[in-house]
Amino acid sequence: MDWRNHIVSAPDVLRGEPRIKETRIPVSLIPGY
């Protein structure tokens, strides 16, 4: 499983911050768990 298939970024969602595909969960939140 390639992690690059699950991380996306779009300027209109979360101000372009990288997030998990098809969610509004930012990637920066994951290391905190």
- Only one residue has tokens 């930012």, namely 26
Domain of residue 22 covers: 1-28
Q: In whole angstroms, what is the distance from residue 33 CA to residue 10 CA? A: 24
**pLDDT, tens digit (0-9, with 9 covering 90-100), for 14-29:** 999 999 999 999 999 9
Structure tokens at 20: 């998990």
In a domain, 3, yes or no: yes
Domains contained in the chain, number: 1
Q: In whole angstroms, what is the distance from residue 1 CA to residue 11 CA? A: 26
Band of pLDDT at residue 32, cut at 50, 70 and 90: confident
DSSP string, the chain: --GGGTEE--TTSGGG--EETTS--BGGGGGG-
In a domain, 12, yes or no: yes
Band of pLDDT at residue 3, cut at 50, 70 and 90: confident
In a domain, 24, yes or no: yes
Decide: pTM greater than 0.75: no
In a domain, 33, yes or no: no
